[in-house]
Amino acid sequence: MNAEPKHARKEDLDRLLSPQLFKAIGDPNRIAILRDLSKRCAPLTVGQIAEGLPVDVSVVSRHLALLRDAEILIARKEGKEVRYSLNSRNLIGTLRAIADAFEACCPEECVMGDETNAQPKGSRIRKSKGSSR
């Protein structure tokens, strides 16, 4: 049994669920930047990153600043250029801590399994337009 008080775990979750983090990873262009940096596994300049995106270099620069401020990227100045790399250790640690905090504070009963398809009275599950049945 975990001796840590439940309210302390809730505070951990409140701290970890940073709007800045989710804003940073919630944009398709920023996701593309993260995917590109993780595939190449090397620090890249703004220009190199911009090559793979359908937006202007100045927009890419703003995306990179937001990711850097959220501590998802590391920026290192090399001469006149800034090279960006994925701060994977921090990102993995943060995402793992979020998962651990949810697991610690939320009972398994919060998860609706296959055996419990009951819904509150009057609620409906919406089907997407493309789904059949």
27 phi-psi bin (left φ>0, alpha ψ -120 to 50, beta other): beta
As a whole number of angstroms, the distance between CA 128 and CA 42 comes to: 40
Question: Residues of the chain with pLDDT > 70: what percent?
Answer: 71
Q: Which domain holds residue 17?
A: 6-106
In a domain, 111, yes or no: no
Residue of 37, 34, 8, 39 lying closest to 21 (CA atoms): 34
Decide if 73 contacts 86 (C-beta within 8 A): yes
- Two tokens at 42? 């090397």
Beta carbons within 10 angstroms of residue 58's beta carbon = 9
Specify the pTM: 0.69
Total domains present in the chain: 1
The C-alpha atoms of residue 24 and residue 35 are separated, in whole angstroms, by 13
**Residue 35 falls within a domain, yes or no?**
yes
Q: How confident is the model at residue 13 (pLDDT cuts 50, 70, 90)?
A: confident
pLDDT above 80: residue 40 = yes
Residue 55 or 110, more confident = 55
Give the model confidence (pLDDT) of 93-128 as tens digits: 989 988 888 887 776 666 555 554 445 555 455 544
What CATH number did the domain enclosing 53 receive? 1.10.10.10
Local structure of 41: helix, strand or coil: coil
Residue 118 lies in a domain: no
- Tens digits of per-residue pLDDT, 84-95? 999 999 999 989
Q: Within a domain: residue 37?
A: yes
Whether 61 is in a domain gets the answer: yes
